[in-house]
Each structure stands twice: as structure tokens, then as C-alpha cells.
Chain A
Amino acid sequence: MSIVTISRGSYSRGKEVAEKLARALNYECISREIILEASEHFNIPELKLVRAIHDAPTILDRFTSGKERFVAFFRAALLTHLQRDNVVFHGLAGHFFLQGISHVLKIRISGDLENRVREEMKREGISADEARMVLVNDDAERRKWGMQLFGQDTWNPLLYDMVLHIGTMGVNDAVSIILHTLDQPCFKSTANSRKRLDDAALAARVEAALVKDFPKVMADAGNGEVFVSVRGSLVDEKIITARVERLAEKVDGIQSLQVNIVPFVVED
């Protein structure tokens, strides 16, 4: 009973690893499905969601917090789906959302650039230089996305339990290593780790419900108690609290709700 998230670059063969692993474990293998679920549940175009979790935010996004909204929807959909357990998720952002949950094995799969270039050339019918440029730009864009939204480099190994490089190591070797790792007791789901995931999923759903009105909302949940921090003037405390309570009403699983107004953040 575990969850595996695989973060990968284009043509790093991470998808293959994920699919083979899911088959070996008899787990559900998901990726784009989460985008579809989020798109359906929150009634937003799929294309916007795809861009939100791929492209780095523009200057305008920084003010309108557009990307953060879509990321909140995606996160809520992903965490809610993962509550089912026995899932292999491959794609972006999973490792950012699942830090601190012990039964989630977070893996980064990288591949040799030249191998990736060959794959890209084959699939897109372009020259080696063009393919290399596409891949380098794509990698840079994803790293920028991570840095701007989460303040972390996607390539930072500290975000993962395991980093596997597909080169000398083949796809089957990688699957075998992951299977062996999953056998370790530390990656088995426990009541405590499942509760942490449940709390994180509830917090994510509350954030998704509020993010349109309060772009910088932060929710923290535990045992059904939800603490929401939204920025605003303390002068409007009552109005903001009432609005938050009204918007959070539709989220299931909230037993009590505390609203904290953050009037300022001054960095050192």
C-alpha cells in the first residue's frame, strides 16, 4: 500500500518506467487524468491547466496570481485522487505537493541528453540541433516554473527519495530498483501517513475553493479543523472572514474553520 510519484524530463523514459512499475505492482498509473479531473471538477479549460503546470509564470501572472490558481486546482485534484492509495503518478509537481508524507516514494528520472535528442528527432522529425534546443529550452522552462512557483529547483535531489539516471541503467533495472525500495517498511502506508495525506488533501480542496477570491490563500488542516490564512487589511477582518466561511462551506470534511488575516509580510 504505497504511492509512487515520478518526476521526469521529456523523453527521459520516465513514463515507461511508471507504466511498467504500475503493471508490476498492479497499481493504477495516472498522469494526464489528473488534469482532466481538475478541469472537469473546477470547470476550467484543460489547455489552461496544462500551461499552468508547465510554463513559468509571466510578469502578469505574478500580479494576477493566475498560475497559482490553476496549480491549486491541480493540487486539489491530485491529492484527492491519491487518497485512493496504490497509485503511480508520473508528471510534474507531484513531488512538490507530497513532501513529508512517508508512504509516497518520490522519484526523479533523468536521461542522457543525447538519447533524449535521438527520441525527439525520431518523434518530431527534426534535426539534432533543433531537438537539442527544444529539450534544453523545455528543461529550463520547467526549472523556472519550479523556482517561481515553489522557490525550488525541480532538479534539486533533496526533493526526492531517489534519483535514477537512465543511461547505463535500463528501464527494467530502474523498475526493479524501485520495486525493491518499495518493499522497505519505511515506504509502507501507515494510519498516520494516510491521515497526513487526508489532511493535505482537505487543505488543498479548501485552497482550491478560495483561491479565486484570495490568490495567496494558505490552508492547514488537521482532524477536520482547518486554519486558513488570507491576506488583507485587518480593517476588513469581519468581511473577509465571512467571505472565506461562505466559500469554504461547499468543501466536504471541514469540522471547524479558523480564518487568520495576514495584513503584511515583510521579508528580511
Chain B
Amino acid sequence: MHSFGYRANALLTFSITILAIMCTMGSLSDNFNSPTPTSQVQVLNINWFQRQPNGNDEVSLTLNVSANLQSMFTWNTKQDFVFLAAEYETPLNNLNQVSLWDGIIPSKEHAKFWIHTTNKYRFTDQGHNLRGKDFNLTLHWHVMPKTGKMFEDKIVMTGYRLPQEYR
């Protein structure tokens, strides 16, 4: 009954159970945090705007992104993945989401940032609907935990419009 094997087994089971409980509680504690992030994005310039040979519109933007995401960091946060997506509707598609820029925020100290950039990924449409198009810029974030459930949310910024003519 009290052999070495049984004791080792009991110890292992107990430590795994405790570890599992601690991980669960760590993940659950994220729910107590209600983040209040802020963000501002300016389109500084339309670098170029044209129809590609395959018929799809493509535009190149210069953006100024500033955000304060410090409030979403908790003790269970490993990193924060942020990206800025252009979102718009076309006659063909009821939703188009095109990621323009993304970044990984490793810690709370880096979560208040300001960046001046051109779009990192190509802003191409499916078709040629971008002239004079109203679009939203949405800052999405995905919180990757040290363990447990992942969280996501977004800030939608409205009122951006592309020019009427190619340039």
C-alpha cells in the first residue's frame, strides 16, 4: 500500500492537479480586467493608387498610428498582437478586411506607442471598387496569455475615404 511507486504516483498526480488549478485560476483572473485602450489613426498620404493589370485596385497609404494599450496587460499576458485593418463593403462582398499593419507588443512598457508607417501588407481589393470608397480603420488586438483563454477586441475608427481618381 505504501510502496515507493504509490507515493511517487500520488505526488505526481497531486502536483499536476495543483498546476492545472493554478493555470485555470490564472486564466480566469483575466476576466477581472476590463481594458480601456485608446487609439488614433491618421492617413497622412495616398502614395499611389492604381488598377493592377489583373483588374484589382491597389492603394498605398502612409499612416500615423498612435495607441495606448497598457490597460490590457495583466499578469497572465504573454504578448499582445495588434493590427490595423481597413474594412469596407463592395457590391460583391459584404465584408472586406485587409490588414495594413501589425505588431507584437511584448510588454506593458511598449504598449503606449506611436508609429509612422506605410502599409506593411498590400491594400488590394477584389475587383476595382476602391475609387471614392468610404472605409473604416479598425484597430484589433489579440491578447495571448501565458496560459489559458485568448482574448480579442477592437476599436473601430470611421470616416476615411479614398480619392475619386487613380494617382
Q: Does B associate with A?
A: no
Seen from chain B, the residues whose Cβ lies within 8 Å of a Cβ on chain A are none
* Residues of A in contact with B (beta carbons under 8 Å apart): none
